[in-house]
Structure 1
Amino acid sequence: MKISRSLKIYFICAVMAIATVTVVSFSTLAANYYVAGMDISLRYSMLGIVKHVDTSNNKPEYMLGYQLTTSWNDVQPEIKRVFHRPNEHLEFQKKLDNTGWFHPPTRAFFLLRYDRENGQTVYISRVFDRLDTDQMIKDSFHEESSSYDMNLILYAFLALVFFAAGLYFLFRHIARPQEKLVDWARNLTPEQLELERPDFYFNELNRLADIIKSSLSSVQVSLKRERSFLANASHELRTPIAVVRSNAELMNKLIDKPHNEDNHEKQKQVMQRILRAGITMTDLCETLLWLNRREQSELPLGKVSLANLVDQVSRELNYLLRDKSVEVEINIQEATFELPKTLCRIVIANLIRNAYQHTHSGKVFISQKGTKVSIVNHNDGTLDDESLGFGLGLELTNRIIRQYDWHYSTLDTDHGREVFIDFRPMTKNAHQLD
């Protein structure tokens, strides 16, 4: 089983390892300085003795336990056994016999060469023997050293403790904003994406929060686009699907009837309506996919007869007026323009469908002249505001109109709504064909 790695534990262990190495290194350096200081003190003592003792008779002299001699042959046997003969002025040599790191030495040997101004060479040496048996000498010689060693270890331990405590509080100070960021990201909702990002104290965490918010916002936009696509698709495909179903039922009835020329012609008309509905559904799907792309480009233009389009769409949507006392009046003038046919069909179908759906009893006036189309629905009686709502269809219509910069206006009345649209763009003219 794979063990999950923790950034917190890794960070704490890494910092504590660095701190331990640092403390141990400085403690070792302090111990070395202590020993070096002891050596320097001993050397000065040996120099003070050799300067005050007369060795002109070339015989070994003794003072305070130190031996001074001008001949290497007269040096103590223990010293000659341990050290080689020094060759330079003030050359210092020492050797300690230890039984362990935390035990005082059992024996100590020191040797210093001193060259007088008259050319005489003096060897001053001393042997500390039986340090572990002579308790008085042992205590006096190692009391300060032992105390220093213990203090050094204690101070190193305390340094690590205080460093660990400081690291703990520092990590808590850093970890709190991190935990806050984790909780914020875990509980982030689409509504909170619209709000201002909280402050997480550290610039790096704020940048990470901005990246998370930006990524989730992109995902949310994609989800909204997909929902919009599905909603628009289901809304726009209702009419062609209804046409296919009704004409399929009619085709079934015509098939059951005896075959004759008139029946054959009706079957051809029904089949043409089904084919047109299939083409309409294909165009609708392509248009909806186009509308949901991130970068929208112009759709190809084609020859469009707005008069035929208005007439065809109004007939296809007649099923919305079943069981309603609604009179439809259509005034159209034949003219052909270079326009995106599918988008014009979507816009006109949505406007007419809306008028049919929200007219319960009354009249619907549809007028087309050139590139201008107006639709007015008049209900018998006053309607409330909810009855005038245009819903999803006009949301899609508005997106198309904004994309192509068509002039569009609506006017609400007590009995319905007046809608006007000009398919001639406000920034460029539609080209009329002969």
Structure 2
Amino acid sequence: MKTRKTAIPLAQTLRQQLLWIGSVLALGFLILIFSLGIYSADTLSDKLMWLEAESVVSQSPDQPLPRTPGMSAWRQWQNVPLDLQQVFDISNLQPGDSLETEQRNASGNYEYLYLLFIEDPRHGKLYLISRHPADQVENAFGDFLSETLLQAALFTLVIMLIIFLVIAWVLRRTLEPLSLLSEWAGQLKTHPREATDIQFPITELNQLARQLQEGVSHVQAVNEREQQFLKHASHELRTPLAVVQASLDTLQVQTANTVASRPVNRALKASNRMMQLSEALLWLARESNKTIPQISVDPHALCDQLISDHRYLLEGRDTQISQHILTPELIIEEPLLTVVLANLIRNACQHSGPGNISLQLNSHGVSVTNPAETHQHNPEPGFGLGLQLVERICQKLGWQFHFCLDRNIAVASVYWNRPAP
């Protein structure tokens, strides 16, 4: 079974995504600037050599070329000291090219050597050689790179802060209409007739709000029609049921101790159940909180009677009913309890497969367990519409109704006095 992910608010989701995007962008900026810093440091030596070359060619050709330990210039490669000629390979050297190498000097210290070959109209060919101690170059390179990265990091932080502030402002402005829609939906849930003003700054939200309002109005109209139907139907049934009841009472007296007394008694019991069902439906259709008085009920006699009334549903089927009554008396709403028990038993009998139907009742509630019937055309076992009536009664009385289906075993339970865990 897959574990359902916990839902989180949209604002939190957007903040998390923004954090991830910002982290990736910041890391990308740092990598880019670090790469640019290294590239700039590598090209810095070439730029310095060109600056030194420009200072040489700007002088008069009659002036002697510089011959210092750090910088020397030569017009002919043959005139370059032999030790420097052995360091550089100029076989493929073209005007404007530069070479770089590292060697150990006479004192045993490492130094960097740079060669730049240029061709000037006034001076002709020039070979400029620059040499610097390795530790000075590395220190200068490190200082340059540190300063570059520090400035890059500060620049990145400033840019990212500005981006975050702008996006946060945009998100807040974007979520404001959604918050208004959420508040309006809450008002629509509690006061559907008052939540008629639909004026959101986003067209799609207005369309969604109208669809929600139309859906709620449709459901409300259906519920009102259902309540009116139940109210009228139950009210209209009271008179003919009362006539039938009175007639059956008369027949019961007239057919006492005769062969016809048994079917008359069954009809009288069925009429009583119809009266109870009609009263229950009428009570459900009312919007008032008027309660039905509680009276003393014998659960043994009531369950025996209801099981006997519904045993005909099991004719020709390999199904039995067993009951376990653990309390001798209940103080409860007797008409509604009768309707609930009758529907639970009828549902179990109608949708039970071969096996045993178990009814367990105590002072806290009742539970009916049956093997669920599986049809070839519908592999999912079902349950009857009577359980919907049971659920409606439980909701209005404050009882707890549970129905579960596990491995083709159906369990319908009603608790009117749930014990503490």
One fold, TM greater than 0.5?
Answer: no
TM-score normalized with structure 1 length: 0.44
Which TM-score applies when normalising by structure 2? Answer: 0.45
